[in-house]
Amino acid sequence: MILPPDDCRLIIFDWDGTLMDSISTICGCLAHAFAYAGLADRGELQYQEIIGLGLEDALAALAPDADKPTRERILRGYRECFFGTPVREMPLFPGVEDTLVQLADAGYEIAVATGKARRGLDRVLGEHPRLAACISASRCADESRSKPDPLMLRELLKHYNLPSAAAIMVGDTVHDMEMAVAAGVLPVGVLCGVHSAERLGVSGAAACFADPTALAGWLIPARAAAL
């Protein structure tokens, strides 16, 4: 198993499929959105492939030939479905909240880089105040650039005044891994979301864990040894 970076101080998490069990909800909302716009269902596998991207980039992949009014209908249908779905139907993965509290208590800065829009992230964070208290910064696709562009990570590194070598990026998709590689941040995969260990590895993952709860046992002893 690869060791954590010697001076790791910042852990940046993806959200959907990494911290929150929301993949089926997102796929269902995309299916609703395409039906709302009068378009054929793209199917769950295609929907899963774009999870992690910003909505505009996701639609460019799913409906490349759609004109602007059609894309606007898809977006309207998606938002109608997503914001109409109770947050309780998108639970955090078991143990995630306790793990982030442990990591924050151990002295790590915790951040989020997500394909969600700010409105969507703020909504789910509002339902999990204990988790939200651990997160000291976040970047969303509608206020930066969509993954795999590294801008979100570069903005977070600038926010904390840290070099890329002091951070890791934790995510469940190839988009997360490619973004981390492009930013010079160590990519760490989790297998509770969309993509397999093989795909994450091909995209640059230096390590893969079953889920984020394994990070405490990997990171905290290394930090204690360095102090």
Domains and CATH numbers, the chain: 10-21+91-226 (3.40.50.1000), 23-87 (1.10.150)
Under the banding of pLDDT at 50, 70 and 90, the label for residue 3 is: confident
CA distances from 133 to 106, 129, 179, 180, 203 (A): 14, 6, 25, 24, 31
CA distances from 124 to 56, 127, 130, 153 (A): 21, 5, 12, 21
Q: H-type helices in the chain, by residue range? A: 23-36, 44-50, 55-62, 68-83, 96-105, 118-126, 129-132, 151-160, 174-183, 197-202, 214-226
Burial (CB < 10 A; 0-12, 13-18, 19+), residue 214, is middle
- State pLDDT tens for residues 82-126: 999 998 999 999 999 999 999 999 999 999 999 999 999 999 999
Residue with tokens 């004109």: 67
Mean pLDDT of 48-54: 90
Q: What is the pTM of this model?
A: 0.94
- State pLDDT tens for residues 127-167: 999 999 999 999 999 999 999 999 999 999 999 999 999 99
Q: What is the pLDDT of residue 221?
A: 81
